Structure 1
Amino acid sequence: MSIVWVILGFMLLVVGGEYLVRSSVALSFKFNISKMVIGMTVVSFATSAPELLVSVQAALSGSPAIAINNVIGSNIANIGLVLGITAIVTNIEVDKSFYRLNWPVMMMFSIVLYYFLKNDFLFSAFEGGMVFTALLVFLVLVMRTAKKDAVTDEVDDTLSIVSNFKIILWLLIGATALYYGSVWLVDGAKSIARSVGVSEAVIGVSLIAIGTSVPELAASVIAAVKQEKAISLGNLIGSNIFNIASVLGITALIKPMPVTDEDILYNDIFWMIGFAAILIPLMLLPKRFQISRWKGLMLVIAYGVFIFLLFTSK
């Protein structure tokens, strides 16, 4: 039965990703802002919801390792698995705002998270409030600078006449499908993993993280196939920022999270920072400012190595 829930969950996540892409492109017309920003706000908020629900539930139920590892593992999966597969589907052009603002902010949040956890082995409510406030400041900055780039984006002109009602309906359908799809997928994956004796720490950074990253995979692959490449990259970078700043930030405000598994600090979080850091040299290698299919393949292989070492070392 667990396999059935996994399959049904995946199907719902694909549907949710499709409706989120439609609504995000339509919103870019309504508000005259770039697709990159839409990907980093509307889509990222919706696709980060599974991580938030899982992390809050895990923290409240006394499993802080799952709460933290879920986000760390999801951020690793977003770059290694999701971005890698998306790039294999189609080459991804890198927007200038990526290395001028988005990537530095993602690295900053990743390093700050490591410092907070390493400092006292606790992600406190105060620290959660700090990163969440920083996220709000970042969003204001992005929205202010995005207006200049709106005219350069090429989008499907037919979406410029979509009614507000239909946009809201698409958002609701997408968010609902992503929510239930993620719940079924994660529950099914947990049941399968525990039936073969896998620990909670491994579940959090691997199966649950992959499960909650499926919305990003669905939305990004669909966007890439439709040539909405700005959304593909913006969604992933935005999702990683949101995972740390909103998912862990809000979770810490509700329930401070102690570090109960040292592998989080001495292994997992370095993989997360490493995957984020490797994007810059990948972007600068020929062809410059493009994540090509072979670069995507490299990311997927690196993610496979991470998963292999994770299960063999624990």
Structure 2
Amino acid sequence: MLSTVTHLLAIALGFVALSRSADRLVEVSSTLAFRLGMSMLTIGMTIVAFGTSAPELAVSAVAALEGSGSIAIGNALGSNIINTGLVLSVCGLVTPLVFSHRILSHEMPLLMIVSGVTFLLMADQMLSRFDGYVLSMGLIAYVIYLTKRNDNQNNEQNNEQNNNDSDSDVVILPLSTSRSIVEVIAMLVILIGSSKLLVWGATELARSFGVSEMVIGLTVIAFGTSLPELAAALACVKKGLFDMLLAMIIGSNIFNLLGVLAIPSLLSGDLPLEALAITRDSMAMLGLTSLLLIIAISALISSRRSYLTDTGVGVNFECTVSRFKSGLILAGFVVYMVVLAMTF
């Protein structure tokens, strides 16, 4: 009884710390982006996305070193499924999401490509060390891409105030650049610490009910390590920073696949995969990502201006994802959870 109370208390304290730190992280990250002259896309896909994925990274590293590869794989795949199927869809049900066409036309296809390549690497039911090298090299290429993309966006926006996350929408705190950097690091540390507290409490409760490691990785740990994304995403919605929201989800998912998923094979060598990890979990991840891409394409097509326009007319336009379309993504997630419950 005492241990159960302790675990529940850990979950409650972790949730409070997570929510508060995530809200502050969005504000300070917005300020830092402004101070450094970075676009909101870049700050969302780097500092916030990579930072909120740090719990997945830590869990996968520890699991791999302790010989629990199923937890590491389940954590990476489960986190992506939850980020897309739950976090993003819940935000879209709270309010219709309005994105700039840039993130839908450039970043979403990139996520689809990374997801497809990852699925192909896992299709032989083996995550080899070579696969780990391929994924980690992809992460390096992705970071280089983000750096160049930020430079291009800054050049494009020199004489423009476009994007639905424009300066008028961004919360700029009276903080210096150095203070902003310190606070971002501090908030990330709190995010990671509070998520670890949540994962510990939830995992111990799950184990007390005899749940297997694979299911723990796909559910309890994946949910726990995705809580930073959920908290930060809801904070973005509250502040109207929709591009940062989607950038964070896309960046986090790419980091999970290219970084977190590479860790088990790099640390442990060739790692056999359960058949269900391919036919159920990888397919679910690929399916939800494909659905999101289809919704993104439909939003672009239905927009008043063509996203193919390279001149001033088409640079500015926004795309809306309705609550109904967000509900479709959530429905896909619910179907996966039902299948998971029936097959674990």
Q: Give the drift of 1:54.
A: 0.7
Partner of 1:234: 247
* Distance (whole Å) between structure 1 residues aligned to residue 278 and residue 221 of structure 2: 19
Q: Give the drift of 1:257.
A: 5.3
Q: Secondary structure at the match of 1:94?
A: strand
* Partner of residue 294 from structure 2, selected from 269, 277, 281: 281
CA-based RMSD: 2.0
Partner of 2:190: 177
* Partner of residue 162 from structure 2, selected from 149, 152, 166: 152
Structure richer in helix, relative to its length: 1
* Partner of residue 125 from structure 1, selected from 129, 149, 152: 129
Q: Give the drift of 1:184.
A: 1.0
Q: Give the drift of 1:157.
A: 6.2
* Partner of residue 88 from structure 1, selected from 70, 88, 93: 93
Aligned length, in residue pairs: 313
* Distance (whole Å) between structure 1 residues aligned to residue 322 and residue 219 of structure 2: 26
User: Structure 1 residues 173-182 or 256-265, which shifts more?
Assistant: 256-265
Q: Secondary structure at the match of 2:53?
A: helix
Q: Give the drift of 1:40.
A: 0.3
Whether contact under 8 Å (2:74, 2:214) holds in the other structure is: yes
The one-letter amino acid paired with 1:221 is L
Partner of 2:316: none
Distance 1:158 1:98, change over 3 A: closer
> Which ranges of structure 1 fall in alignment gaps of 5 or more residues?
none
Tell me the TM-score normalized by structure 1: 0.92
1:1-314 residue pairs with structure 2 within 5 A? 1-119=6-124, 121-145=125-149, 146-148=153-155, 150=157, 151-153=161-163, 154-155=166-167, 156=169, 159=172, 161-256=174-269, 258-285=271-298, 288=303, 289-314=319-344
Identity, in percent, stands at: 33
Distance 1:104 1:80, change over 3 A: same
* Distance (whole Å) between structure 2 residues aligned to residue 199 and residue 310 of structure 1: 13
User: Structure 1 residues 229-238 or 103-112, which shifts more?
Assistant: 103-112
Query: Could you give the per-residue CA deviations for residues 178-208 of structure 1, whole angstroms, max 9, x where no partner exists?
Result: 1111111111111111112211111111121
Distance 1:8 1:276, change over 3 A: same
Tell me the TM-score normalized by structure 2: 0.85
Distance 1:32 1:215, change over 3 A: same
Q: Secondary structure at the match of 1:152?
A: coil
Query: Could you give the per-residue CA deviations for residues 69-119 of structure 1, whole angstroms, max 9, x where no partner exists?
Result: 111010000011000111112221233233433122212221222222223
User: Structure 1 residues 226-235 or 128-137, which shifts more?
Assistant: 128-137
Rg (Cα) greater in structure:
2
Whether contact under 8 Å (1:117, 1:259) holds in the other structure is: no
The one-letter amino acid paired with 2:196 is V
